Structure 1
């Protein structure tokens, strides 16, 4: 199907409506007064609809023209978006950014700066992938992510300090450990421990990483802290959780237990660009925003 009208004609009509006169619209569009009149007259002929009426010195859109322009506005906006996206792609702006975020990171530290980024970049989609242990390192060394939030810096990849995550031992209020005032590490061996699986390696693989105290006689292994939180609520065992999870969810049904010489510890988090100098401009822009927020926080 061949269209009767052109995008330029609808933009002309829109500008006349906005400027209030053909002369003012001609100046805004850098076109002659005659050119605009010819464009609108041709549009009226093509659709057999009157689009403009003159009242005094002003050119006013008819009701029919306003109805048509409301529909055309979406088309005009989409055309502008298309041109802006094409421009961004021509200078290497990525259509998608992948962020690898270690599961120890408080997600709000990524999503709050993301609001700032999206205000100026509405063309790049964002994927956020949660990682842990081996998977965190893999996302960096295989350069599967544009930005990575990791624990310890990866060998040969530069990194900047990003945040600290405090880990605390937690049980449900009805767990036997909740009523004990003095708890030693040896006491923990009698109860089930809830641990988070290494998402990057097969369980049978020698590459699988283990972190922290793991001497309990029985373990319950889950994929993430959300499952761990729910398992603790059910009284299944004890687990160390990031303090930000307890603060965000509320811990009225849980209790932080006091362990002798091992009550809490902090894990430093870092931010890195796995692709280094090959990082695209959109990812680099978001990285700078994340780092700026981190600098204000640390």
Structure 2
């Protein structure tokens, strides 16, 4: 059975809906006003349904038009994705891809598989951007990266488990809390807490974990937090993989009742979804293959 309508007709209807007028849609599509009116009338005739009506000076979709366009929108998006994929195949892999990595992630989970990828794809450069909290989420939402390692999965973005980061409360070995055998929340309230700033937040910062200390020292990254910690400036929750790389006599893990450790899951995401390029997909597969044994061990 042959189709009565074409993708171009549905694209025209979508443009009218988004522009709010036939004239506006004509400008967007670079077509004449008359051509668009004819196209819409023809679509209405083919479907035997009124799709557009004029309200005031605006061209708006009827209820039937809105219902049909809702069903057509995914079809149009799939068509765009197909064209994008065809261009990728014609042009070859990307010359450069960007990976956004939340600062919580263990860097050893990234660079060995990335090194193997770059050896196999000498024509593709890779830019790694370390982000945190809101910054990571914004990079995904605004598709400013091809791949992202994030903590909390985001709506409308598929995510694969990539590992778990263990956070532990610590102080420098010369801090007054270093010799305490047991602690509770009240003991920490009067101490200075070293906090990592949410680099992506303009006004509303995203807070994570226990933040009830009366005084805070806020820094940009874990490197600064570590220097402040060993200087005795306060206590901080740091990733265990970072502590494993530090001199063991330079810090003390706090025996905090009900808060000795917690885990933060991290995930691998393709923000551009179906429009992810060939090289980015290859790196994604390399990263997930490397994560396999780690994830299996974590489930046992």
- Does TM, normalized by the shorter one, top 0.5? yes
Aligned to 1:81: none
Deviations 1:154-183 (A, max 9, x none): 111000000100000010111111011110
Q: 2:241 aligns with which of 227, 241, 244?
A: 244
Q: 2:274 aligns with which of 240, 259, 277?
A: 277
Structure 1: state its 5+ residue gaps: 1-87
CA distance in 1, matches of 2:228, 2:179: 19
Q: CA offset at residue 251 of structure 1?
A: 2.9
Structure 2: state its 5+ residue gaps: 1-87, 296-300
Instruction: Say whether residues 1:210 and 2:197 are aligned partners.
Output: no
Native 8 Å contact 1:89 1:95 kept in 2 = no
Instruction: Say whether residues 1:144 and 2:141 are aligned partners.
Output: no
Aligned to 1:39: none
CA distance in 2, matches of 1:251, 1:158: 39
CA distance in 1, matches of 2:145, 2:221: 20
Native 8 Å contact 1:92 1:280 kept in 2 = no
CA distance in 2, matches of 1:191, 1:224: 20
Aligned to 1:44: none
Q: For residue 270 of structure 1, give the secondary structure of its aligned residue in structure 2.
A: strand
Aligned to 1:196: 196
Q: CA offset at residue 297 of structure 1?
A: 1.4
User: In the TM superposition, what are the counterparts of 1:1-298 in structure 2 within 5 Å?
Assistant: 90-202=90-202, 205=203, 207-298=204-295
Q: CA offset at residue 90 of structure 1?
A: 4.8
CA distance in 1, matches of 2:277, 2:186: 51
Is 218-227 or 242-251 further displaced after alignment?
A: 242-251
Deviations 1:48-91 (A, max 9, x none): xxxxxxxxxxxxxxxxxxxxxxxxxxxxxxxxxxxxxxxx9953
CA distance in 1, matches of 2:161, 2:175: 37
Q: CA offset at residue 250 of structure 1?
A: 2.9
CA distance in 2, matches of 1:195, 1:251: 22
Deviations 1:121-153 (A, max 9, x none): 011111111111111110100000100000010
CA distance in 2, matches of 1:247, 1:190: 28
